[in-house]
Amino acid sequence: MAWMITFTDLITLMLTFFVLLFSMSNVKVDKWKNMIDALSLSLNPSQTKSAVVSTAKFNISAIFRKRSINLDYLASVLRETINADQFLRRSQLIRLEDRLVIALPGDLVFKPGSAVMTERASKALFDLGGILANIGNKVGVNGYSDPTPPKGGEYVSNWELSLGRAAAVANELRRSGYPDNITAYGYSASRSGQSSKVEKTKRRAMARRVDIVIMPTGGEF
C-alpha cells in the first residue's frame, strides 16, 4: 500500500503545477464570454425567446389623438365669429350634450337643387375653416333635405343631393386648412320630422340644412 502514498503525492504535485500555470496565464475575456454564451445556449436552450412581432396594420400604441378644445369655450369663440359675419349670422350654433353643431341653411349656401356653393358662402366657409384648422377636435359634416324630390339637375334623389352638399362643405373646410379627415354623411329627408312643431315654411328651410358637427374628442395624428 506504500505505492498509494507515492501516487497521491504525484497527483497532488501535478494539480499544484497546473493551478500554478493557470494563475500565471492571462485569460482573454472576450473569448471566455463567447465560450460561456455558447455553452449556455447548448446546455440551456429554453432561455432563448423569440420576440413577438405585431402583424396588425394599426396598433393601439401607434394611434395618437390630438388635444381637443373644450366645446363650451369653442362655442363662445365661434359665436363671436358667426355674429360678426353677415352671411354666417343666419346659421344656428347649437350646443348639444356631446357635440357642437353649426347648422347652415342649405338655401343660403347652395344654388337651388345643386351642391354648388355660392361665392359668398364659399368665402364665409373658408374663413370659418381657418378657425377650425387651429383646433384638434374631430369634425364631421351632415347634409339634409326636405321630402320634395329634386327637379332636374344632376341629382336624381335627395340622398345624393344631401351627400353632395355635405361633401362640398367638407371640401371647403379642408381647402381652408383643416388638417384631418372630415366624414361627410347624407341623410336626405330622414330627419325632417324632428322639427314638426316649427312653422311649415321654416321647417322646410331647416330641413335643407348642412350641419358642421364638432366632436369633443381629438382627431388622429
Predicted confidence pLDDT, tens digits, the chain (221 residues): 677 778 788 888 888 887 777 776 666 666 667 767 776 766 565 555 555 555 656 555 555 556 778 899 889 988 988 888 888 888 889 999 889 999 998 888 888 788 888 888 888 888 888 888 888 889 999 999 888 887 767 788 889 989 999 999 999 999 888 888 898 999 988 766 554 444 555 566 678 889 999 998 876 54
In eight-state DSSP terms, residue 118 is P
pLDDT given for residue 107 in this prediction = 82
* Angstrom distances, CA of residue 221 to CA of 65, 171, 181: 6, 20, 10
Residues 123, 86 contacting (CB under 8 angstroms) = no
Record the pTM: 0.64
Q: Are 115 and 164 in contact (CB under 8 A)?
A: yes
Residue 196: predicted pLDDT: 45
